[in-house]
Structures are given as structure tokens and as C-alpha cells.
Amino acid sequence: MQKSLADINFNEIIHYPNITGYSKSEQPYYCNGFCIKCEKNNVSHSLTTISHGADSNDFKLKYGNQNYGNKEPIMFLFEDPSPSAPKDDTGEFLESNGLKKHIPFYYYYWIDERINSIPKTKLELLNYPRSIPAYILYLQEIYQLDNVYVTNFVKCFSKEKKSKDKQAKDEYDNVLKTCFTNYLSKEIEIFKPKIILSFGGRQFGHLGYYITNSQDFGIDNNILKNYIEDIHYFKLYHPSPGNSTPFEEIVDHNDKILSKILS
């Protein structure tokens, strides 16, 4: 991962000393803190699981250098991390500045240790445990994507994201604004994607709103100001195991769109 993106992910969002990408082999990964910008900005509800980004080089370090042919920068954008799941042994709760969050501890966030090789066909993908990391590997393989960056719009999970309570809704809007202005806008500026693939509808809407109104949030960013004209973003089905849509239907739906976008 290029240094500027690594600084955002491993020094600002999650504090992993001396980690600049998926290159550190020791487990568990020592962490000494995490972002609390939302909590400092009067968000009172709990923000639990926290995530970081990953790029093609990170996946190559785990699964081998595939050297795919499509070198265009493409961003995979998801909404937020999954709810805390301490029983899966992927992380642990860390206390910092009086707050607790579930951090990637045994594995990096976009890695599924059950997936030992890259699914090279849809059939192989469907035979694997259903997971977002496996699907990311499948897309890179099928569409020969050699320059991918994967991240969440919101870096921490919030159970209030669907709340109809006005205070909770206002607080979640604050979370969206904080994550966009401090992190996602910078990730876009650094990575300079030609295409953003949004997996799910909510962050697709958030993305359009915050990009269109970026100057209102104090972001003077030429990439964002020219975004709608110069860079394209598309909405796809979310591959989450929590999605009630059958996985094969999700894969087929997205492949119909991606085969046109990435051909």
C-alpha cells in the first residue's frame, strides 16, 4: 500500500505501529489506539467494530502476485464494517481513551482465513464460504483488476444507521460527514480512482451527496469538484452473508453490470 494511504489506515483510523500494509506476518497485530473523531464530535451512541482499507498489493502479499492486466485504479466501496463478532476470533475489544472498539487483531480486516486460494470461476466462489473477502478476490481474478482499493464509507459500525429517531439520525449524519471529510475524501484524492463500485444502495446515495456538496464541508479538492464529470461510480448488490438475496443471484446481477463497465 502506498505510504499516504497506509498512514490514513494504520496511523489515523487504527494505530498499528510500524505497519504499512499487509506485510507484517506476526500475529496478533499490536494495536495501541483508534480514531475517536466522531465521539469527540458529540456522537453519543456506540461505534463498535472498526475497519481499515486494503489495496491490490496487500492481497498479492497474501495470495501471490497475480499481475493482472487491467491497471486502471478502481475503488470498491462498502458501507461499514459488520457488527462486532468476538466469537469468530478475528479481533478483540481494545480500550483507548475510555472507549472500547472491536479491532482487527488476528487477521487484517479484508482477509478471510478460511479462503486459502483465489476463486477463479463462479462455481469455485459459490463453493467457498460466503464472504466479502472471497468475493473481492473473485472480482479481481475474473476482471483482471490489478489496481484495486477497498474501503468502507463509514469506518466503524453503528447500530443507529437505520434508526428513525431524530437524535440518532442526526448523530449518524454526523458520523457520515466525519468519515467522509477526514478519510474517504482523502482516500479518493490519493488513490484517484477512474471508477468507484459501490456495493449497496445506502453509501451510493451518501457518496453522491457528499461529493456534490463537498465544498460545503470545507473540502477544496479538485478531484472531488470534477468528480461527476471525470470519474464514474456505479451501484451493485452487496455480497454480505447478511443479504437475504441468494448469493448466486447477487453474483450474476453484478457480473452483468461489471462485464459492461470493465470490458
3-state secondary structure of 134: helix
Angle between helices 132-142 and 56-63 (to 10 degrees): 100
Name the pTM for this structure: 0.90
How far apart are alpha carbons 164 and 258 in whole angstroms? 34
Which residue(s) pair with 117 in the sheet? Answer: none
Contact 52, 13 (CB under 8 A): yes
pLDDT at 113: 84
How far apart are alpha carbons 201 and 191 in whole angstroms? 22
pLDDT at 14: 93
What does residue 188 show for φ and ψ, rounded to 5 degrees? -65, -45
C-alpha grid cell, residue 5: 494511504
Evaluate the CA torsion angle 61, 65, 67, 68 in order and state its sign. Answer: negative
pLDDT at 86: 46
Contact 51, 173 (CB under 8 A): no
pLDDT at 164: 75
Neighbouring C-beta atoms of residue 186, cutoff 10 Å:
18
pLDDT tens, N- to C-terminus, the chain (263 residues): 888 999 999 999 999 887 888 876 677 788 889 999 988 887 777 788 899 999 999 998 888 878 899 999 999 999 999 875 545 556 688 888 888 888 888 788 998 888 889 999 999 999 998 999 999 999 999 999 999 999 999 999 887 777 777 777 788 888 888 898 899 989 988 998 999 999 987 777 777 776 766 565 565 555 565 555 667 888 999 999 888 999 999 999 999 999 999 87
pLDDT at 34: 92
What is the DSSP track for 191-259? Answer: H--SEEEEESHHHHHHHHHHHHTGGGGT---HHHHTHHHH-EEEEE----TT--S-HHHHHHHHHHHHH
